[in-house]
Amino acid sequence: MVTDYTPPPWDEALYSFIQHLKGTSRAKKTVEFYQYLLNILVHWAEDTNIPIDKFGKRSLDEYLVWRQENGHTVSGKPLSLTTLHSSARVARMFMKYCSRYDLIPRNLLADYELRSVPRPHKYMPTEDDMVALLEAIHGYWNPLKNKTIKAFSASRRGFHRDRNFALIMTLLDSAARIGEVLSLKTTDLQQTKVTVKGKEKVIWQITIRESGSSSTTKGRSSRYVPLSDETLGTIETWLKIRARTMRQAPAGSDEGWLFIAETGGRCDESRFLKSIRRITKWAGLPDAITLHSLRRFSLNKLSKVDVLGAQRIAGHKDTKTTLIYTELDAGHVADVHERAGVVKGIVANKKAAPKKRLAAA
């Protein structure tokens, strides 16, 4: 029996855990979020003199109460139930790691039950929203409609208009995340042969690659997503502008990114987000329309046709995750009900039966 055990300092255990997360191909933003939550936990535990091997259920409950009462955001609003739930979930994950890798002798949170949090309603864009967004991209970069961009040269206006239009079309068509689309390279756009309803045809598709240094997909395996002719047309238009831009760039500077900045490098996500926000504001579109809501819109439409196909396109490991994006409106439910015709078929058969008996007599 080991009697000279000394618990490691909180910060050392936290550092070890974060390094472990980085080595398991977790998304960078996920690791940063976990580290942010655990930094708060570690400071609280150290201030209250609770060693890491004594942090149990009561300690976590006390910490969550403290977070709820004192952990207000910069805006002054209290923490949401979702944030509190995440704090508890990450704490349990951290202690599980410490126990598994022998940093502590026993995980005192092993059977800690997380309380479920109601999911807040998220705005589901309509087709009219998406039509308006695509029209706004062209309108915003038209100096006759938007006088604020007259200072931009025609070539710069065309660059941003056609790149942003192709980018939004790709996001909608592939239901991909913005990081995944911005990590595409020109070589990820390929032709392939597929068999559809017994017939072989050639389609265009993009390859969203597995986690690693060159991509940001959440999963661990690559996925192949087909593109429509409409989206392919916008990409072909953009590729002509891309080629012209790269001809003006220094030799050997082309890293192959499909969507580039004016300098020829990879399109920056934060700048693109700000650009789209300016366009939606200019067009008077709802603030709730975000790049992630485009993914929600696409997966909602796809899952109504085939939920397994939508799951594959989304890159989800579980169908339950795909169903979170699905919103069955009254019109869709009515259409399903009418096409199924459950009662209609029964009544029709009952009416037909007496006629058949009379004919037989």
Using the 8-state DSSP alphabet, how is residue 54 labeled?
A: G
pLDDT bracket for residue 360 (50, 70, 90): low
Evaluate if residue 191 carries a pLDDT over 60: yes
What's the domain range around 316?
127-327
Question: Are both 142 and 203 inside the same structural domain?
Answer: yes
Residue 71 confidence (pLDDT): 64
**Amino acid residing at 350:** K
**Amino acid residing at 167:** L
Q: Which helix (H) or strand (E) holds 270?
A: helix 269-283
In a domain, 107, yes or no: no
Residue 349 confidence (pLDDT): 66
- Structure-token match 């240094």, residue found: 213
Q: Look at 47-56, 115-124, 158-167, 206-215 and tell me which has the smallest mean pLDDT.
A: 206-215
Total domain count, the chain: 3
pLDDT bracket for residue 108 (50, 70, 90): very high
In a domain, 206, yes or no: yes
Between 239 and 347, where is the model more confident? 239
**Euclidean distance between CA atoms 296 and 185, whole angstroms:** 24
Evaluate if residue 227 carries a pLDDT over 50: yes
- Structure-token match 């390279």, residue found: 185
pLDDT bracket for residue 1 (50, 70, 90): very low
Evaluate if residue 158 carries a pLDDT over 90: yes
CATH classification at residue 93 = 1.10.150.130
Cα–chain center distance at 262: 26
Tell me how many degrees the CA angle 18-111-220 measures, rounded to the nearest 5: 40
- Beta strands 199-208 and 189-196, pairing class: antiparallel
Task: With 0.85 as the threshold, say if the pTM is over it.
Answer: no
pLDDT bracket for residue 211 (50, 70, 90): very low
In a domain, 110, yes or no: no
Residue 26 confidence (pLDDT): 77
Residue 77 confidence (pLDDT): 66
Q: Residue 201 in contact with residue 194, Cβ under 8 Å? A: yes
Evaluate if residue 350 carries a pLDDT over 70: no
Considering only CA atoms, which of 158, 164, 123 is closest in space to residue 292? 123
- Beta strands 189-196 and 223-227, pairing class: unpaired
Q: Residue 171 in contact with residue 178, Cβ under 8 Å? A: yes
Question: Are both 216 and 349 inside the same structural domain?
Answer: no
Q: Look at 72-81, 90-99, 119-128, 179-188 and tell me which has the smallest mean pLDDT.
A: 72-81
**Euclidean distance between CA atoms 24 and 121, whole angstroms:** 31
Between 2 and 289, where is the model more confident? 289
Single residue among 100, 117, 138 that ends a domain in this structure: 100
Q: Look at 38-47, 330-339, 352-361 and tell me which has the smallest mean pLDDT.
A: 352-361
pLDDT bracket for residue 219 (50, 70, 90): very low
In a domain, 322, yes or no: yes
Question: Are both 147 and 293 inside the same structural domain?
Answer: yes
In a domain, 321, yes or no: yes
Average pLDDT over residues 29-54: 94
Residues 6 or more apart whose Cβ sits within 8 Å of residue 288? 122, 123, 125
Question: Are both 312 and 347 inside the same structural domain?
Answer: no
Long-range contacts of 265-270 (CB under 8 A, 24+ apart): 266/182, 267/163, 267/167, 267/182, 269/178, 269/179, 269/182
CA contacts within 13 A on the Cβ side of 245: 26
Considering only CA atoms, which of 187, 167, 147 is closest in space to residue 291? 167
**Euclidean distance between CA atoms 298 and 180, whole angstroms:** 15
Average pLDDT over residues 92-104: 94
Question: Are both 83 and 224 inside the same structural domain?
Answer: no
Structure token pair of residue 293: 């809501």
In a domain, 116, yes or no: no
Question: Are both 156 and 141 inside the same structural domain?
Answer: yes
Between 70 and 42, where is the model more confident? 42
DSSP codes of every residue in 221-262: S-EEEEE-HHHHHHHHHHHHHHHHHHHTSPTT----BSSB-T
Average pLDDT over residues 309-328: 90
**Euclidean distance between CA atoms 132 and 297, whole angstroms:** 14
